[in-house]
Amino acid sequence: MADDALTRLVTALSGVAKEIRRIETDALATLHGRGDDAFYRKRMREKAEVLQYLPKTMGSFVEQLPLEEREEINYRLDKFSMSASTALKLDSIFYMSALLYPEDYREGEPNDLERFISELERSRE
């Protein structure tokens, strides 16, 4: 049962990670292709909002997990949310674009959300 719950959480989080990658790709393509700053800002705000509501959107999946697993998962989801909330509060497009990416990030590497998903997948093994 717990393994099924974790699988559902991983699947849901993977969908969010793909959505964020699509948002970023779309935003950058439009910025570089058409120079549309306003569209880029809009998409970065969308990315931040997705992350801001992550604990709420994943709540029903997390609640199905054993109590001892929930605390760490909720902590990590809350960290993503708090960073996004701060970026939105500051209205910093730079901060929004940097969400999920550590300072030493290299193109092609997984972002922090994708790394978290990988950790959850490994914990099932």
Helix then strand count (H, E) for the chain reads 6, 0
The pLDDT assigned to 34 comes to: 86
| H/E run at residue 121 | helix 112-123
Q: Compute the distance between CA of residue 88 and CA of residue 51 in angstroms, rounded to an integer.
A: 11
Domain boundaries, the chain: 2-123
Work out the burial of residue 26: count CB atoms within 10 Å of its CB; fewer than 13 is exposed, 13-18 middle, 19 or more buried: middle
33 or 45: which leads in pLDDT: 45
Q: Name the pTM for this structure.
A: 0.92
The pLDDT assigned to 3 comes to: 83
The pLDDT assigned to 76 comes to: 98
